[in-house]
Amino acid sequence: MTLKALVLDSDGTLAETADVKRAAFNQAFVEFGLDWVWGRGIYAQILANALPGAEVEFYTLMRHPEMFNRLERTGLLDKIPRRQKAIYLGLLEAGAAPLRPGIARLLAEAAMSKMKLAICSTSPRAEYELLLFNRFGREMIDALKGSVSGEDLQGVSPIQAYRTCLARLQLHPSEVMVIEDAPNGVAAAASLGMQVVATPSLYTLSGRFSAATLVVSDLGHPAAPLAVLKGDAEGAAYLSLEALRRVHGQKDPVAINRAA
């Protein structure tokens, strides 16, 4: 079928947000008088094992179990994540997470075309809106149709998010292409019959993307070509809408899902 919609994940896909979140946690720890410092190794372990919102609880039980009761009793297990979120939004507003290579170019091209464009995220809407606002102002946010954020969901299930987004777009799954950085998100979108281009981010580089049609380093730029990690980019040095249409025509999404 014809490609009619482009759906992008937010965290890690639009921008490398994980290290900004990590910095916000570290700042919150200082403000609450804790000498904890999360490096990338620790944070990768936390991301791989803790549900969003339970990072501090998981880390306390893993590294400082003797402190858990005190932190719970004083309310810090709740106060620290709330403060981290506020710090993180402030950092996003200040431009601490620029868009990944090729994202602004592709979004601008899609917005000028007749293709539907949506963001599908389990994170709060304000986070991806700040990322887009910093680069485009309100214009790109207003161009989105059928987007989904954490406020629209019960829990943080990627498959629920993509199912909701698909329903809002009112399209057949084979008419939609998804760009994702996380293995769970790739698997969720593909399981619903959508083709997926994976762009692994800093904390998902070692993940398995077997359900993706194409895996690339990023979306690329004429002066900085992408690297193909899996699949066939049809000779494209960067992923334009036309290149995505060619990739979209390679395989039947149902067959991809069966193979995954």
Q: How does pLDDT run across 93-140, given as a tens digit for each residue?
A: 999 999 999 999 999 999 999 899 999 999 999 999 999 999 999 999
In 9-158, where do the E strands start and end? 116-119
Is residue 255's pLDDT more than 70? no
- Which 3-state string (H, E, C) describes 146-211? CCECHHHCCCCCHHHHHHHHHHHHCCCHHHEEEEECCHHHHHHHHHCCCEEEECCCCCCCCCCCCC
Tell the residue number behind the tokens 């954490």, with chain if given: 150
| Beta carbons of 97 and 131 less than 8 angstroms apart | yes
Q: What is the pLDDT of residue 114?
A: 82
Sign of CA dihedral 92, 167, 257, 238: negative
| Strand 214-216, strand 228-230: pairing | antiparallel
The CA distances from residue 175 to 127, 149, 254, in Å, are 27, 21, 12
**Domains identified in the chain and CATH numbers:** 5-16+99-259 (3.40.50.1000), 18-93 (1.10.150.240)
Give how far the C-alpha of residue 215 lies from the chain's centroid of Cα atoms, to the nearest Å. Answer: 15
Q: Which residues, 6 or more positions from 123, have their beta carbon under 8 angstroms from its beta carbon? A: 10, 11, 52, 149, 150
Q: What is the mean pLDDT of the chain?
A: 94
Is residue 187's pLDDT more than 90? yes
Confidence bin at 258 (pLDDT 50/70/90): very low
Is residue 151's pLDDT more than 60? yes
Is residue 256's pLDDT more than 90? no
Q: What is the pLDDT of residue 251?
A: 59
Largest Cα–Cα separation, the chain: 58
